[in-house]
Amino acid sequence: MAINRLLVVDDDPGMIQVMGRILSGLGQLSFATSGAAALKQVNERPPDLILLDTEMPGMSGYQVCEQLAAEPRLRDIPVIFVTAHKGAEFELRGLELGAVDFIAKPISEPLLLARVRTQLRIKRLTDELRHIATIDVLTDLANRRRFDEVLAVEWKRGLRNGDSLSLLMVDVDHFKLFNDRYGHPAGDACLRTVGQALAEACRRPGDLVARYGGEEFVVLLPQTSCPGAEQVARRVLEAVSSVRIPHQASPTADHVTVSIGISSHDEQSAVRTTPVLADVGGISTRTQSELLLCADHALYAAKAAGRACARTLRFGEPHAASASSK
């Protein structure tokens, strides 16, 4: 079981020592004596629970809570306010900002332990449910919902930081013929094997492989320019081909192959093409939907080129009008 991480935030070192002693057996503790220091720690490594003083110089606990709520990847961290204020209006304000509980000073050790344990248990169950809701049951990869969530986050991050973002759309060639020849149970096994091959071809922790629907997968590559995405596509083509899943009904090969459409939002790198990965133009709009549309059009081009290959479609290139959908 993973170790719980708790962040205690209070401008009073004495109070931090008291809470640190009480909570020492519940997990890995870290401490901050200001709101700014707390936010820095949370951004670097989000904790499982924050115990937050409401009144601190510079930035109050309420302001810290507001900033956490504004950040999608941090807003679900439970916050327990710990404060000397006992009025209902203070508690109500904290709960309206998203806090899960409110503990008044002076602290009761049994009460603090009980409430922290309760919130850690709720957090663990919530994380498990969220994980289940974002995993594809057949392949054990991320599902469409998870992909959409991560794409939205990475798109905004890329625009904010000026980072590249690339996407592979991967389709199993002639999958209907495979199902007709070998049956649906074999088709399910094929998709699981292909999904595993994709996951093994994507080596960075930040890369996301998801089942997009049916026999279609997507690979999201943050901080990856077009040449890097093409390199990953080569690995995917080789990984799937090397598994050698028999496909005697395929007009393309005697084993299962995939076609790949590549799109990149990368304003720094020039377009590079190779014999395997040819550029087929691009579009100029700058939205995450267009990133998907680019990959979809590139996938169509790969299929038109004979399948078992990859093609690239980039933003801002000519010939956008000639790109057609599947």
Let me know if 215 is a catalytic residue.
yes
Structural contact between residues 221 and 167, judged by C-beta atoms closer than 8 angstroms: yes
Please state, in angstroms and rounded to a whole number, the distance separating the CA atoms of residues 134 and 239. 25
Say which residues have a Cβ less than 8 Å from residue 25's Cβ, sequence separation at least 6. none
Residue 282's DSSP bridge partners are 314
Torsions phi, psi for 163 (to 5 deg): -85, 155
Catalytic residue selected from 154, 215, 216, 230: 215
* Cα-based distances in Å from 294 to 155, 200, 213, 305: 15, 25, 18, 16
> Checking DSSP bridges between strand 208-213 and strand 216-222, what pairing results, if any?
antiparallel
Q: Hey, what are 87's tokens?
A: 């009025």
Separation CA 257–CA 246 (nearest Å): 10
Tell me which residues are annotated as active site: 215
